[in-house]
Structure 1
Amino acid sequence: MLQSYLFPISYAFMSFPFAALLFTLPFLIVQYRKYGYINKVRAFVLYLFLLYLMNAFFLVILPLPSSRHNAALASGAMQLMPLNFILDILKETSVVGSDPSTYWHLLKERAFLQVVFNILLTVPFGMMLRYYFRKGWVRSILFSFLLSLFFEVTQLTGIYGLYDHAYRVFDVDDLIMNTLGGICGYLAAEWLSGLLPRIEKLDENVDLSAKRVTYTRRAVAFLIDSVIWPILMAICFFLHIRASFWVATGIYFILIPWLTHGVTPGKWMVRIKLTKMGERVTLSSLLLRYGLLYWVFFGLNRLLAGSIDNVPDIGRLVLGVIVFAMDAWFFIHVVIRLFRKDSQLFYEKFSKTKHVILWNKPAEKQEKEPV
């Protein structure tokens, strides 16, 4: 029986890196917007919770049928009699009520172990609801029940139509035991809170104004901008505006931040903005900063990648050498800055601009229920 549990757990651990990769971008955006920074304890707890949910889900749905066209369950797809597990235990047990020495046999019997498993399955869920999400007992019971219902419906529908028939029984006892597990976890969370940092106190002594804007945060902002910026470029192209790349870049990264006090949509999403030596960023500093980065650096790369009319082959070769040397230097420059205290890139130094955290409320007044 142990092997039947190890199989789905191993699959959950193998799948976790891919799930974590998909989870990271929304996690970063939510954390930056809600708290203004990434707290390592909060990140560890949430990724651990993701790993738990994957293990719980895989334990419930695996192993899968060998074919999508599976046969219907001979005993029926639903068991709706509450506490039927007691009858199952009585049928299978070798325990003799008058002989206490036989009681330990329960630990080897499938029906009893199945009940214990269904309780333990949702204990971590109840603990997280109280410890991290700060939910009350009513909501914790409700969410534990809904999680169990999701598991049972997934099995009953053959993973929502992926299989022709249910491949496991929808059992009302599972709903009861899973919900009970959530309650046990909720009660155990009070003990857990004494061993771990209090979630509601993680941000008490955080000074956001003193925190450096990390390259990770800037990368997330750029990733968001890289989705919106090409749309503006496409509009310029369809309107037959000449040099659409340079025009769209100027509007998006120079004009818009000048009008919005240093904010693009991507920067707004992660709560950062550009300033010039702590003051409002000027149009000239934006022209210098993004003119160097986008019009010169990215612009020359775009020229080389695109078609250049009326330029002889020798000119293309010279441009290629220049762009290659420029790209190699920029790559080395970025890597060096990543490992130095002085993390400003060349275009930031020339323009005297830098990112700061855009935050309007003190950390201690943040809401109590984290996400």
Structure 2
Amino acid sequence: MAAYEGPIQTAIYTFPFLAFAISFIFIIYEYRKYGTFLFRRAVILYSFIFYLLCAYFLVILPLPSREEVAKYTSQIIELRPFYTVVRFLDQTKLVIGEPSTYLPALKQGVVLEPVFNILLLVPFGMYLRYYFGLTFKKVVLYSFLLSLFFELTQLSGLYFIYPRPYRLADVNDLMNNTLGGMIGFLFTPLFTFLLPTRAEIDEAAYKKGQQVTLFRRFVAFTIDWISIFILEGCINIILRLIPSYRIWDNQVQFSGSRFWYFLMVFLVFMVLPAVANGQTLGKKIVKIRIVSEDGSSVRFRSLILRYGYFYYVFGLISLYLSSSAQWLNSNNRMLQLISFILTLFCGLLFLLFFLNIGYAFFKKNRRLFYERASHTYTASTIAREEKFRKSGESE
């Protein structure tokens, strides 16, 4: 069992990092399809990833040194079908009439190896039937292809990293793995009858996806600003290829000015949604859009009010606060007093803004102040699929 514990432990250590790497992409996919992120779906999919990691590490680990593998002279491939049966008959300690030989026979490699190869893909067949809703024929095909991938990984010496294969690629493993996927498909109802069906999970996701949460909007906000920074960087790189612009920019520091902030906000959050049915790139990805209070397409004037309040007003407040120290430290008492009052006022506006966000977070009707001022709101564009795949449906 020690040979199997090591790969599983490696999967345990590796899985959190892999999960972290794919989490953002996975969240975007979930919002694209369902408009929400269900914890139960995450558990199923992440457990599936963990299982595949364990299976893959069982195939490739432990890794020997390249120098050690270069000295190997053992067989690299076994192409005789059912040779595991021949090996079992030749090497087994089993004597049918002697019960004392049963347990020792079960501990032999000629029994454990094919049994573990069968069990390796039993969960794979279960996942494919329960969550992905594949038919028996497709489960057999995908089990065969996954097993073929494992055997080719071994035959190639871990994709030619090693000078030769360090494990035997066996056609019998291919057969046993595929059999395991078939068994997993057939036994799925025995293990999943207490779990929600895929149709029930999708139904809950589509229902929840009609609500536009603050987190969903935050994901869109993040995507929009990442795209803005990339676009702004590309424009600056292109402009600085022009010698006259480069000289002028070095003099006036135009590329680092606030002009870019106000210009990008105008183009991305006002002009683009006006011509793209209330959507920016981020909103398009998470499937939400801005609409008027009556549900009609948002007007350009409403977008100016909406994002003028949000970006321009608070942008100017931030600009003032970043330079308020020099006014507060002025020798002019009147200027100090005015600056102090303006600073308190700006701080109060920021406090009200965050209180509005906190209040909206706990309310079902999550409209922020700039939405009310512009008579707009954010709606979901998720189109519910009426057909759900049925687990175990036969072709």
CA deviation after TM superposition for structure 1 residue 206, in Å? 6.9
Secondary structure of 2:290 counterpart: strand
Secondary structure of 1:269 counterpart: helix
Q: Which residue of 2 aligns with 1:254?
A: 270
Secondary structure of 2:150 counterpart: helix
Amino acid of the structure 1 residue aligned with 2:299? T
Q: Which residue of 1 aligns with 2:96?
A: 97
Distance 1:332 1:4, change over 3 A: farther
Equivalent pair of 1:89/1:112 in contact (CA under 8 Å): yes
Secondary structure of 1:160 counterpart: helix
Q: Which residue of 1 aligns with 2:7?
A: 8
Counting only pairs closer than 5 Å after superposition, residues 7-156 of structure 1 correspond to structure 2 as 7-67=6-66, 70-156=69-155
CA deviation after TM superposition for structure 1 residue 67, in Å? 4.6
Equivalent pair of 1:36/1:359 in contact (CA under 8 Å): yes
Quote the Cα distance in structure 1 between the aligned partners of 2:143 and 2:230.
Answer: 43
Secondary structure of 1:250 counterpart: helix
CA deviation after TM superposition for structure 1 residue 368, in Å? 6.3
- Give the one of 306, 326, 332 matched to 1:314: 326
Quote the Cα distance in structure 2 between the aligned partners of 1:128 and 1:226.
Answer: 37
Secondary structure of 2:278 counterpart: coil
Quote the Cα distance in structure 2 between the aligned partners of 1:10 and 1:327.
Answer: 52
Distance 1:64 1:340, change over 3 A: farther
Counting only pairs closer than 5 Å after superposition, residues 216-231 of structure 1 correspond to structure 2 as 216-231=215-230
- RMSD, matched Cα: 3.6
Equivalent pair of 2:133/2:390 in contact (CA under 8 Å): yes
- Give the one of 269, 290, 305 matched to 1:288: 305
Greater Cα offset, 262-271 or 64-73: 64-73
Equivalent pair of 2:37/2:205 in contact (CA under 8 Å): no
Corresponding residue pairs, total:
361
CA deviation after TM superposition for structure 1 residue 204, in Å? 4.4
- Give the one of 282, 285, 289 matched to 1:269: 285
Equivalent pair of 1:204/1:364 in contact (CA under 8 Å): no
Equivalent pair of 1:77/1:170 in contact (CA under 8 Å): yes
CA deviation after TM superposition for structure 1 residue 75, in Å? 1.1
User: Deviations for 1:54-78, whole angstroms, at most 9, x for unmatched residues?
Assistant: 1111222111124577325321221
Q: Percent identity?
A: 39
Amino acid of the structure 1 residue aligned with 2:59? V
CA deviation after TM superposition for structure 1 residue 9, in Å? 1.1
Equivalent pair of 2:33/2:382 in contact (CA under 8 Å): no
Equivalent pair of 1:233/1:245 in contact (CA under 8 Å): no
Q: Which residue of 2 aligns with 1:354?
A: 377
Quote the Cα distance in structure 1 between the aligned partners of 2:65 and 2:268.
Answer: 53
Equivalent pair of 2:66/2:163 in contact (CA under 8 Å): no
Secondary structure of 1:356 counterpart: strand
User: Deviations for 1:183-241, whole angstroms, at most 9, x for unmatched residues?
Assistant: 10111123345332221343447774984212332233233323432343245544569
Secondary structure of 2:15 counterpart: helix
Quote the Cα distance in structure 2 between the aligned partners of 1:144 and 1:74.
Answer: 31
Distance 1:91 1:258, change over 3 A: same
Q: Which residue of 1 aligns with 2:199?
A: 200
Q: Which residue of 2 aligns with 1:308?
A: none
Quote the Cα distance in structure 2 between the aligned partners of 1:255 and 1:269.
Answer: 18
Quote the Cα distance in structure 2 between the aligned partners of 1:298 and 1:221.
Answer: 19
Q: Is residue 2:386 matched to residue 1:364?
A: yes
Q: State TM-score, norm by structure 2.
A: 0.78
Distance 1:136 1:258, change over 3 A: same
Distance 1:269 1:13, change over 3 A: same
Equivalent pair of 1:12/1:55 in contact (CA under 8 Å): yes
Q: Which runs of 5+ in 2 are unaligned?
A: 240-244, 246-253, 330-338
Equivalent pair of 2:147/2:174 in contact (CA under 8 Å): yes
Secondary structure of 1:70 counterpart: helix
Greater Cα offset, 236-245 or 158-167: 236-245
User: Deviations for 1:88-118, whole angstroms, at most 9, x for unmatched residues?
Assistant: 3344432223323312222211221111111
Distance 1:89 1:228, change over 3 A: same
User: Which has more helix, going by share of residues?
Assistant: 2
Find the structure with the greater CA-based Rg: 2
Equivalent pair of 2:11/2:53 in contact (CA under 8 Å): yes
Distance 1:171 1:348, change over 3 A: same
CA deviation after TM superposition for structure 1 residue 175, in Å? 0.6
CA deviation after TM superposition for structure 1 residue 277, in Å? 2.3
Counting only pairs closer than 5 Å after superposition, residues 296-311 of structure 1 correspond to structure 2 as 296-297=313-314
Equivalent pair of 2:7/2:62 in contact (CA under 8 Å): yes
Q: Which residue of 1 aligns with 2:261?
A: 245
Distance 1:352 1:367, change over 3 A: farther
CA deviation after TM superposition for structure 1 residue 21, in Å? 2.1
Quote the Cα distance in structure 1 between the aligned partners of 2:225 and 2:111.
Answer: 55
Distance 1:78 1:352, change over 3 A: same
Quote the Cα distance in structure 1 between the aligned partners of 2:320 and 2:114.
Answer: 67
Secondary structure of 1:64 counterpart: coil
